[in-house]
Amino acid sequence: MLVIRPICAQDYDALYQVAIDSGHGFTSLPVNEELLKSKIARAEASFNKHIDKPFDEGYLMVLEDTKTGQVVGTCGIEAAVGMEDAFYHYRLGTEVYHSQQISVRNEIETLTLCHDYTGAAELCTLFLNKDYRKDNNGRMLSRSRFLFLAQHAERFGETVIAEMRGVSDENGDSPFYEWLQKHFLGIDFVEADYLSGLGKKTFMAQMMPRSPVYVSLLPKKAQKVIGEVHKSTRPALRLLQAEGFKFRNYVDIFDAGPTVECALRDIRAVKRSRLVTVEIGTMPKSDDHFIIANTLLADYRASQAKLSLKDGQDSVVISQKIATMMKLNEGDQLRVLAM
């Protein structure tokens, strides 16, 4: 079976391989030993931390194949972005120029550097080994985070965002970034993205354009990709849109990929997940797939299972094998979400 659990120090080698396999544009996991070990330590501390309100916690989880012990995927949630390091976006807006004297009215799109998402929770670090991209594994890995948000809502910002990877080629070059490199930053896209992933963002405040950028003055190929996603990211975007996430005119400062958002309480899976009481025994046959998660924090577990569970039913029978894997006892609560 596949089970999602909090990352631990022993997962370093697996996380390093994920960082390599994920390739360019996966900012949250740069190929850097010091940073990856720091991310693991931060996650371990976050899962064990008592909080009064969300701050800079990061909940990084791995997907483990229990048959082999191999880590085959990752997913994560940031509690509240921008609380310690600046969290930049471009806000896509419109300026209006009108002259009655000459009877001309123009609406010009602009990009303005901002920190508007400071304090929002962020879905991040979603990756699944290509050999496991089947049997709803990707959907389960992504949507399991909503069960965690539903169970531990007090640990997260009221708005949840997700940054979608923007358009880039096989070498990691972004058509949007080209003009920024030429006129402002002077370093290539891969290096800038890597530094951002390391948390070394001072150069952004020093070198990014401080005034609004007129979109019409950008090269046509740069204009074309504003708000567009990388082809490999389209399925993830569609999944989030089905959960109620919307594009509110915020894009990434490097590749112009869209950021989507939804109020935590309005996420479809958060609203539709529910708690049932565990009974351990012989599971009735069923073709109904559910994402399941326990209610724990440091010992959080999530997976998927075929359950005999109807609307309004307040208990469910699971096998001893599943109960053990999920760290559940008779009478415990299990959060479930129909696939």
- Per-residue pLDDT of the chain in tens (339 residues, 90 and over written 9): 899 999 999 999 999 998 888 765 566 777 888 889 999 999 999 999 999 999 999 999 999 999 999 999 999 999 999 998 888 899 999 988 888 888 888 889 999 999 999 999 999 999 999 899 998 899 999 999 999 999 999 999 999 999 998 888 877 778 888 877 777 776 766 676 666 665 556 666 666 777 888 999 899 999 999 999 998 889 889 999 999 999 999 999 888 999 999 999 999 999 999 999 999 999 999 889 999 999 999 999 999 999 998 888 899 999 999 999 999 999 999 999 998
Q: How far apart are CA 75 and CA 53, in angstroms?
A: 22
Q: How far apart are CA 166 and CA 293, in angstroms?
A: 32
The domain at 273-338 falls in which architecture?
Beta Barrel (2.40)
Contact (Cβ atoms closer than 8 angstroms) between residue 245 and residue 120: no
Rounded to 5°, the CA angle 328-334-336 comes to: 140
The backbone region for 249, taken as left when phi is positive above 0, alpha when psi lies in -120 to 50, beta otherwise, is left
Q: What is the DSSP letter of 339?
A: -
* Dihedral pair phi/psi, residue 234, rounded to 5°: -60, -45
pLDDT of residue 322: 95
Provide CATH 3.40.630.30 ranges for the chain.
2-90+114-269
Fold of the domain built from segment(s) 2-90+114-269: Aminopeptidase (3.40.630)
pLDDT of residue 175: 86
Q: How far apart are CA 33 and CA 156, in angstroms?
A: 28
pTM to 2 decimal places: 0.90
pLDDT of residue 225: 94
What tokens appear for 126 in the block?
């979603």
Other beta carbons within 10 Å of 31: 16
Query: Residues 320-327: contacts with CB within 8 Å, 24+ apart?
Result: 320/280, 322/1, 322/283, 322/292, 323/278, 323/280, 325/1, 325/3, 325/66, 325/301, 326/3, 326/292, 326/293, 326/294, 326/301, 327/294, 327/296, 327/299, 327/301
pLDDT of residue 169: 80
pLDDT of residue 193: 67
**Residue 316 CB-half CA count within 13 A:** 27
Provide CATH 2.40.40.20 ranges for the chain.
273-338
- Residue identified by tokens 């609307």 is 311
Q: Is 230 a catalytic residue?
A: yes
What tokens appear for 295 in the block?
């209610």
- Pick the catalytic residue from 24, 89, 152, 230: 230
Contact (Cβ atoms closer than 8 angstroms) between residue 63 and residue 141: yes
pLDDT of residue 211: 82
Q: How far apart are CA 139 and CA 290, in angstroms?
A: 11
> What is the per-residue DSSP string for 203-227?
HHHHHS-SSPEEGGGS-HHHHHTTT
pLDDT of residue 294: 97
Q: What is the largest CA-CA distance in the chain?
A: 82
Give me Rg for the CA atoms of the chain.
22
* Dihedral pair phi/psi, residue 184, rounded to 5°: -130, -60
Encoded amino acid at 37, one letter? K
CA dihedral 86, 52, 337, 314 (to 10 degrees): -170
- Residue identified by tokens 């490199």 is 181
